[in-house]
Amino acid sequence: MKLTLIITTYNWPESLLLVIESIRCQTIPPDEIIIADDGSNNKTKDLITNFNKEFAMNIIHSWQEDNGFRAARSRNNAIFKSSGDYIVLIDGDTILHPNFVKDHIASAELGHFVQGSRALLSKKETKKALARKIVNFSFFSSELKNRKNAIYSKLLSSIFLSKKKSSSWY
């Protein structure tokens, strides 16, 4: 199964940098990475170009003109460009747990989709993470909102995993 990770972004390359760094820390990397860019300026394009030069990652930049908030269209454009059998959608400010991709692969099931939630950092911790390029967080990280979402437990995951069936997808 080929997994495509699609990241929605708009004019926040500092955050996108941390998301990409967290992808580099994955125990199993995605097969394909596409940035669904809703009209960002050249700083985002330059970030992606630099990553593609410096690291063994091929990030596809799916850019559309900035005509207001059109994130859904941007995601759809990226999905159209994808070649994966399984697509994971995240926002451009979502730093991934090192087992994020691995866990998605383990949870994949034909005709189903998985929806998760995330822990949130306070504004103060977000600024600190951006300045120091921090991509590792845990249940014990300071100023964490939705702290319960930062718990990584296979047992709890198996209890609370929610797979939704969509008969129109297969």
108 has a pLDDT exceeding 90: no
| Residue 78 to residue 33: CA distance in whole angstroms | 10
Q: Is 165 helix (H, G, I), strand (E, B) or coil?
A: strand
| Residue 53 to residue 58: CA distance in whole angstroms | 9
Alpha-carbon dihedral sign for residues 17, 28, 71, 55: positive
Strands 144-145 and 120-121 turn out to be antiparallel
118 versus 94: which is more confidently predicted?
Answer: 94
**pTM confidence score:** 0.87
120 versus 93: which is more confidently predicted?
Answer: 93
Q: What would the DSSP string read from start to end of 64-85?
A: ---SS--HHHHHHHHHHH---S
16 has a pLDDT exceeding 90: yes
- The token pair at 147 is 């702290």
**CATH annotation of 3-169:** 3.90.550.10
Question: Which bin fits 82, alpha (ψ -120 to 50), beta or left (φ > 0)?
Answer: beta
pLDDT band at 170 (very low <50, low <70, confident <90, very high): very low
- The token pair at 9 is 């972004």
Domain boundaries, the chain: 3-169
Residue-wise pLDDT for 22-31, tens only, equals: 999 999 999 9
165 versus 16: which is more confidently predicted?
Answer: 16
Q: Is 120 helix (H, G, I), strand (E, B) or coil?
A: strand
Under 8 Å between Cβ of 141 and 150:
yes
